[in-house]
Amino acid sequence: MLSSVAERIYWAGRYLERTENTARLIRVYDSLLLDLPRGLNISWYNLIELNSAEDSFAERYRVQDERNVVKFLLSDEDNPISLQTSLKMVRENLRTTRDVFSPEVWELINELFYFGRDEVAQGQGRKLRYGFCEGIIRGCEQVNGQIAATTSRDAAWQFLELGRYIERADMTSRILDAGAVTLLESAELLGQVNLGQIVWGHVLGSLSAELAFRRRVRTRVSGPAVADFLLNDPHFPRTIRFCRERVADAIRILPRGKAVQAQLEVLAAVYYQVESIEDLGQPFRDYVNEVQIRIATLHRHIADTWFALG
């Protein structure tokens, strides 16, 4: 496989995952904010922080309100992480690799792209927002399903998996961090309502993980249980561990994978067990931050090994 094609497929995988994650985040925030008690200092702007997009947001908007945040994340074509931009990048990358995926994949991507572009106004207002996000998530799943059903498990597939799981691990870590910071910042309100349960319930919800969590952990939703599950569960497809293992699988199969193996072990070497509420303090945030840095380093190793032309 051409290096340049591998790179585009990898990015198509990342952007497709990012598109879905953005829709998931907005969908869950809609619901979270309705459940929270008044006076709590949790706002839509958290989504900007979660995506480390404070600077590019500030360049475009002054007011950190729902309208601007949603606009920035959904439809802003100048924002490199907006849903619009992500969908466009999926399409552009797949367009240049049309010789790899089946025509049906391309058709679905096109449909999704036009849906995202033409219906994005629905996502602005609260009334239709849920439906819009659903449509995007469903469209992404359709694309993933079509790809899974019609793509050979050769190098193309492995690069798509690499992109998908690296992006996903990164997002799961960000969502965990957001959960932790929410509770740290509203410590004085803890106890007023069962705030922990609301926040961590939504953390699970943003990853469609409620059911898997309950079946696996068999306990009520609590910070430590959720965090430990999303970090270390080997079976649910959005946990950090699961993502890491899929990345490892892909790297094992690809030629010259040995060059990346070491960095993968570095990522696996950090382990954090969450047993009590105390474990979710600053050390937890530091740990999650470290995971993100190591994911970024892994990405660089992947790029150097397979994409570098020269």
Partner 1 sequence: MTLDWKHYDSGGFFDELISSPGNARAPARRLASCLASLNDAEIESRRRMAEATIRQMGVTFTVYSEEGNIDRAWPFDIIPRTIAARQWRDVEAGLKQRLRALNRFIDDIYHDRRIIAAGIFPAEVLAQSKNLRPECQGVSPPFGVWANICGTDLVRDERGRFFVLEDNLRVPSGVAYMLENRAITKRVLPELFENEAILPVNDYPARLFDTLAALSPRKVRNPGIVVLTPGIYNSAYFEHAYLAQQMGVELVEGRDLVVDEDKVYMRTIAGLERVDVIYRRIDDLFLDPEVFQPDSVLGVPGLMRAWRAGQVAIANAPGAGVADDKVVYAYVPQMIEYYLGEKPLLPNVPTWLCSDPEQRAYVLAHLDELVVKPANESGGYGMLVGPHATKKERAEFAERIQADPRNYIAQPTLKLSVAPALVDGGRLEPRHLDLRPFVLQGEELYVTTGGLTRVAMRKGSLVVNSSQGGGSKDTWIVDTEAR
Q: Which stretch binds partner 1 (CB under 8 A): 61-69, 90-98, 164-172, 236-244?
A: 90-98
According to DSSP, the residues that pair with 193 across neighbouring strands are 190
> Which of 271, 266, 269 is CA-nearest to residue 284?
271
Question: CB 4: neighbour CB atoms within 10 A?
Answer: 12
CA distance 44 to 111: 29
Q: Which stretch binds partner 1 (CB under 8 A): 79-87, 110-118, 244-252, 292-300?
A: 110-118
Is residue 52 left, alpha or beta, with left meaning phi > 0 and alpha meaning psi from -120 to 50?
left
* Least gap, CB of 110 to partner 1 (angstroms): 5
Q: In this chain, which of 6, 166, 175, 251 binds partner 1, going by CB under 8 A?
A: 6
Residue 306 as a binder of partner 1 (CB under 8 A): the answer is yes
Q: In this chain, which of 34, 41, 256, 262 binds partner 1, going by CB under 8 A?
A: 256
Nearer to partner 1, 5 or 169 (CB): 5
Nearer to partner 1, 262 or 309 (CB): 309
Residue 157 as a binder of partner 1 (CB under 8 A): the answer is no
Q: Are 270 and 291 contacting, i.e. CB atoms less than 8 angstroms apart?
A: yes
Task: Let me know if 28 is exposed, middle or buried by CB neighbors in 10 A (0-12, 13-18, 19+).
Answer: buried
Q: In this chain, which of 99, 191, 218, 282 binds partner 1, going by CB under 8 A?
A: 99
C-alpha distances in angstroms, 134 versus 8, 23, 116, 297? 26, 8, 11, 33
* Least gap, CB of 98 to partner 1 (angstroms): 4
Q: In this chain, which of 59, 118, 255, 262 binds partner 1, going by CB under 8 A?
A: 255
Nearer to partner 1, 83 or 100 (CB): 100
Q: Which stretch binds partner 1 (CB under 8 A): 76-84, 109-117, 184-192, 281-289?
A: 109-117
C-alpha distances in angstroms, 293 versus 161, 282, 297, 299? 20, 17, 6, 10
Q: In this chain, which of 92, 210, 245, 279 binds partner 1, going by CB under 8 A?
A: 92
